Amino acid sequence: MVAVDSERPKDPGVRQGDLGLRVHWCVLPFRVLLVLTSHRGIQMYESDGSIMVYWHALDSGDTSSVQAVFARGIAASGHFICVGTWTGRVLVFDIPAKGPNIVLSEELAGHQTPVTDIATEPAQGQDSVADMVTADDSGLLCVWRSGSEFTLLTRIPGFGIPCPSVQLWQGIIAAGYGNGQVRLYEATTGTLHVQINAHARAISALDLAPEAGKLLSAAEDTFVHIWKLSRSPESGYIEAALLL
């Protein structure tokens, strides 16, 4: 059993679920860590949850007492774990093969509004490959190449609608928005290929079956849809077909 600080948020206008109370298994090349976030900080546990190996406190600094402080969006990329924050910055933690000597190695500054989600996929040793995407409350997407230093490759402009969930598959970005749309972008260029009015209300979450190329979308309209993603071998154009 893992204990999480459950103190109520100071901002009565913000739902507790919006404050980044998240849990995620981070599968690294050499170990698996359980990562939890709250408005107090970031906790990392061994895979069985028995030992906390790292704690990172969230410093509100000069933040007003009425502004929510939180971490939101968790993903593993190589031997790094990336966590988004309310400031728009993404914290990059360098994880050793074993033990608690975890280091905050970098802070990525691509967003001006709070990060909502982070998605990654293995780069497989290719140069200039976009292997991480981050999303924020304005709908902006930042596309990154991981490494000893993370490089911002491109920004995909938002349109004032939050992007609560994002996935990355074979160079395709699948982004779910607060207006119920699912959009598919080319990760390397940011080109929009597909725009789907998938749901009547805000997208809650996207999930992906990478081997099958199937995307699941869930929304506040209580519906769940499954989409088959593919890329035309002739044109390279991205396509999406509704399965359910």
- Confidence grade of residue 18 (pLDDT, cut at 50, 70, 90): low
Cα dihedral across residues 200, 177, 182, 243: positive or negative: negative
Average confidence score pLDDT of the chain:
88
Per the model's pLDDT, the better-predicted residue between 83 and 39 turns out to be 83
Q: Which residues contact 198 (CB under 8 A, 6 or more apart)?
A: 176, 180, 181, 182, 217, 219, 225, 227
Tell me which H or E stretch contains 60: none
CA–CA distance from 40 to each of 10, 80, 86, 131, 198 (Å)?
Answer: 12, 21, 12, 29, 35
- CA dist 198 → 175, 206, 217 (Å): 11, 12, 8
Res. 16: pLDDT tops 60: no
Q: Look at residues 208, 47, 226 and name the one whose alpha carbon lies nearest to residue 117.
A: 208
237 CB-near residues (< 8 Å, 6+ apart): 193, 231
CA distance 174 to 240: 10
Q: Is the pLDDT at 35 greater than 60, yes or no?
A: yes
- The pLDDT value given to residue 60: 65
Residue 12 pLDDT greater than 50, yes or no = no
pLDDT attached to residue 232: 85
Q: Write down the pLDDT at residue 237.
A: 84
105-117 average pLDDT score? 96
Between 21 and 174, name the one with better pLDDT.
Answer: 174
Task: Say if residue 244's pLDDT is above 90.
Answer: no
For the whole model, what pTM was predicted?
Answer: 0.88
Share of the chain above pLDDT 90, in %: 73
Q: What confidence tens digit (pLDDT) does each residue in 113-168 have? A: 999 999 999 865 455 589 999 999 999 999 999 988 999 999 999 999 999 999 99
Please, are residues 148 and 158 in contact by the beta-carbon 8 Å criterion?
Answer: no
**Angstrom distance (rounded) from CA 6 to CA 40:** 9
Average pLDDT over residues 78-95: 96
